[in-house]
A and B are shown apart, each in its own frame.
Chain A
Amino acid sequence: MAAISPDNHGLRLGLRYLVLVLVALIFALPLLFMVVSSLKPDAQLLGDTSSLRAFLPVGDISLENYTQAFRMAPIRLFVLNSVLVTGLTVALSLLICSLAGFAFVFLNWRGRDLMLSLILATLIVPFETIAIPLLMICSKLPWLGLDGIEWGWLNSYRVQIIPWIADGLTVFLFVQFFKDLPRELIEAARAEGASWWQVYTRIVIPLSGPVIATAAILKFLVMYNQYLWPLIVVQEESYRPVMVGLGYFFQLNTPWGALMAYLTVITAPVLAFYLILQRSFIASIASTGVKG
């Protein structure tokens, strides 16, 4: 970097910050507008758009829109469904994909290399291209329920969870991470008579904090923000997740204030989560880029 003469140093620094702030406004203002608008009555919300008041919580501020939004749609149920589906999928995904990653890196079994190439090949298949045949398959699958075997998975939690547990990217992340673990550690444990399960639970998993965080965050974002899949497999309100529940507000005379309140309610947990763990979030995304 070229030497900066002291007299214009302050000016250049100021300009740099000015650019940074202007760009930050582009990203922050729409979200700020969402939160601020959720506190205003519709008439004021629409009037305020023509001035900077649009981004300020001024005037007739209340939580009335939130009350109305909760009256218009069973938001509590939708949030509960999303939390349940997201939580279970993330947990099962971490378990099953780390087990598979373990097998691919530390175990030597017939068919291993073929299976790994097959799984990596799925990375170039966008979900959108298998959604319709998957819908067809899930509409026919059997399930052992309390009243014996029932056919068809549509309208359930399982159809939102099970197909999403294992995916190529998560397995790949674990494989990449496990490859860099010291093999001597595992061989020593085996020499002392530890079973593979013990090696997995007592040695490998305790060392895997970073990759578990990465895999969990990526899965969390995908699952909580699910839209296309639940849209086509869940018609019953009782299993509907938050993003599909937004359909209540797709109407001609949109109740803007209540809509902004709903958007804020379902976005706030993710944003809070992100702001607390922002380093891990950004590291997760960055680590998907290492595969190039």
Chain B
Amino acid sequence: MSSRLTRSNRAGWAFALPGVGLIAMFIIVPFLFAFGLSLTDQRLVSPNPTQYVGLDNYRNLLSVGLLTLEPERDDAGAVKRDEAGQIEYPRVRSITRSDDFPQYRGMSEWFSWQSGENRKVVLASDVVFWKALTNTFYFVLVVAPLQAALALCLALLINQKLRGINVFRTIYFMPVVVSIVVVSLLWRFIYDGQDGLLNAMIQWASLGALDGHDWLGDPATAMPAIMVMSIWQAVGFHMVIWLAGLQTISPTLYEAAAIEGASKWQAFRFVTWPGLRNTAVLILIVITMQAFALFAQIDVMTKGGPLDSTQTLVFQTVERGYGRQDISGGSTISVLLFLIVLTISVIQRWLTRERR
């Protein structure tokens, strides 16, 4: 921004200071503060002075261990089995509480699998955190591509020159302006196991052949149900951004393609898609950032349950930092979340960089 205007330090700072000051105070300082707090044992209200604890918070969150359990054997060396014929193993708790294995102390079982006669158990010192982390990735990896693709389909649908098309655009975008809290409460009724609208519709459509399902009460379907609802609410937002991208593509390119005899698919593949490159990068980054921030849906619909199947990083941040007043614990998860978001947007930018 080269300017021929003369230098005006005083006016410049006077105009910029309120904005710059507020952003520094309420965005940049808390952001830096998060790193500092994550190295302490700060609580919201505490009689004890705050202490520097180094990387303890990170260690407590991230420590994992792999344990191989060998079957219990009787005196003759044969594998012991219970009444159902299942192999018996020593209890995980007997190891995590034993002085013989200090490296596993305080950990508990995250998941396990069978490997021959042995059972492999992955232990974590903070199982809920790991579940929150994997659930968040599950949500992002499903929602980001799916929502981006559906939004593009909607944008192409709405980009036709038809009478009344604006009415449809208005309707598709409508859920975006409705609060996600309102949407979550509304969909709680739709998903309800007893009186839910979805179950009633399924029973009606299948003439009573299919029974209802408690969508949010089943660990296998709770997260997918939240994904569907989240996409329903936000897809119009990204549709509009795709649409803006579509409208920057010059019509002469389509005319040229038509003259060359290109099919509709070819026109999309060789004119539309290359023209949407920058839009695609932006949309992917925006959706990813929004998806990592998953909180309100969880807080309103499931509180992280059933069986921690909908725990997410932001939900854990709030539950610890606010719910348990454990500011340092919440800040530690915040820092990790930020590092993840940063890494992913750097990778996305690198993967989609302009190739020369």
Per-position binary interface string of chain B over residues 38-62, scored 1 when its CB falls under 8 Å from any chain A CB and 0 otherwise: 0000101000000000000000000
Nearest neighbor of A275 in chain B, beta-carbon distance: B170
A contact face: mostly helix, strand, loop, or mixed: helix
Annotate A12-45 by CB proximity to B: 1 below 8 A, 0 otherwise. 0100110110011011101101100100000000
Measured between C-beta atoms, what is the minimum distance from B102 to chain A in Å? 32
State the Cβ distance, A117 to closest chain B Cβ, in Å.
12
Would A274 and B174 be within 8 Å (CB), given that A122-B28, A130-B34, A232-B318 are in contact?
yes
Interface residues in A41-79 (C-beta closer than 8 Å to B): 46, 49-51, 54
Contacts of B5 in A (CB 8 A): 106-108, 186-187, 190
Q: Which residues from B are CB-within-8-Å of A2?
A: 258, 264
Q: Is the CB of B187 within 8 A of A30?
A: yes
Closest to A263 in B: B182
Contacts of B33 in A (CB 8 A): 133, 136-137
Set of chain B residues within 8 Å of A145, measured between Cβ atoms = none
Interface residue A84 (Cβ < 8 Å from any Cβ of B): no
List, in ascending order, chain A residues with CB within 8 A of B173's CB.
278, 281-282, 285
Determine how close the nearest CB of chain A comes to the CB of B274; give it in whole angstroms: 14
Give which listed residue, B7, B240, B335, B338, contacts A109 with CB less than 8 A.
B7
Query: Are A130 and B334 within 8 A (Cβ)?
Result: yes
B19 near A100 with CB under 8 A, answer yes
Interface status of A243 (Cβ within 8 A of chain B): yes
Q: Which stretch in B77-85, B92-100, B190-198, B215-223 binds the other chain?
A: B190-198
A164–B19 CA distance with the chains assembled, in angstroms: 11
* Chain A residue at smallest Cβ distance from B4: A187
A97: interface (CB < 8 Å): yes
Interface size class, chain A: 35 or more
Of B28, B171, B338, most A-chain CB atoms within 10 Å? B171
What per-residue 1/0 map shows which CB atoms of A275-292 lie under 8 Å from chain B? 100100110011111111
B171 lies within 8 A of A126 (CB): no
- The answer, yes or no, to whether B292 is at the interface (CB within 8 Å) is yes
Whether B29 sits at the interface, judged by CB under 8 Å, is yes
In-complex Cβ contact of A228 among B6, B162, B244, B318 (8 A)? B318
Contact pattern, B 1-29, Cβ under 8 Å of A = 1, otherwise 0: 10111111111111110111011101111
Query: Given A129, A263, A273, which contacts B338 in the complex, CB threshold below 8 Å?
Result: A129
CB <8 Å contact, A289 and B245: yes
Are A109's CB and B185's CB within 8 A? no
Q: Does B289 have its Cβ within 8 Å of any Cβ on chain A?
A: yes
What is the CB-to-nearest-CB distance from A46 to chain B, in angstroms, rounded to a whole number?
A: 5
Residues in B whose Cβ lies below 8 Å from that of A227? 179-181, 295-296, 299
**Partner pick for A221 among B44, B177, B186, CB 8 A cutoff:** B177
B112 at the interface (CB under 8 A from A): no
Q: Do A100 and B15 form a contact, CB below 8 Å, given A26-B232, A106-B5?
A: yes
| Min CB–CB distance A160 → chain B (angstroms) | 12
B20 touches A100 (CB 8 A): yes
With both beta carbons as reference points, the residue of chain A lying nearest to B338 in the complex is identified as A129
B178 and A133: CB pair below 8 A?
no
Could you tell me if A50 and B204 are in contact, using CB atoms closer than 8 angstroms? yes
B317 within 8 A of A: yes
Q: Which B residues between 197 and 224 are near A, CB-CB below 8 angstroms?
A: 197, 200-201, 203-204
Q: A104 an interface residue at 8 Å Cβ cutoff? A: yes
Chain A contacts for B281, CB-based, 8 A: 292
The distance from the CB of B320 to the nearest CB of chain A, in whole angstroms, is 8
In angstroms, Cα B173 to Cα A275, docked, is: 10
Beta-carbon contact of B185 and A133 below 8 Å: no
Interface string of B102-137 (1 = CB under 8 A from A): 000000000000000000000000000000000000
B334 adjacent to A132 (CB under 8 Å): yes
A289–B151 CA distance with the chains assembled, in angstroms: 14
B145 part of interface (Cβ distance < 8 Å): no
Residue of A nearest to B190 (CB): A30
A54 and B182: CB pair below 8 A? no
- Establish whether residues A196 and B30, one from each chain, have CB atoms under 8 Å apart when the complex forms: no
Please tell me if B175 contacts chain A, counting CB pairs below 8 Å.
yes
Interface centre among A16, A20, A267 (most CB of B within 10 A): A20
Confirm or deny: B152 has a beta carbon within 8 angstroms of a beta carbon on chain A. Answer: no
**Residues of chain B in range 125-175 having any CB-CB distance to chain A below 8 Å:** 154, 157, 160, 162, 165, 168-175
- Interfacial residues, chain A to chain B (CB-CB below 8 A): 1-2, 13, 16-17, 19-20, 23-24, 26-28, 30-31, 33-34, 37, 46, 49-51, 54, 96-97, 99-100, 102-113, 115, 118-119, 122, 124-137, 139, 162-168, 171, 179, 183, 186-187, 190, 196, 200, 221, 224-225, 227-228, 231-232, 243, 246, 249-250, 254, 256, 259-260, 263, 266-267, 270-271, 273-275, 278, 281-282, 285-292
Given contacts A129-B341, A135-B322, 13 further A-B contacts (CB under 8 A): A49-B201, A50-B201, A111-B13, A115-B16, A137-B30, A166-B18, A243-B182, A246-B185, A249-B185, A271-B178, A286-B244, A287-B244, A289-B245
Contacts A/B (CB < 8 Å), 19 sampled: A27-B171, A28-B171, A31-B186, A102-B15, A103-B14, A109-B9, A118-B28, A124-B289, A132-B34, A132-B37, A132-B321, A168-B27, A224-B179, A267-B182, A285-B237, A286-B243, A289-B245, A292-B279, A292-B281
Across the A-B interface, the 6 shortest Cβ-Cβ residue pairs: A109-B12, A100-B19, A132-B321, A292-B282, A103-B15, A289-B241
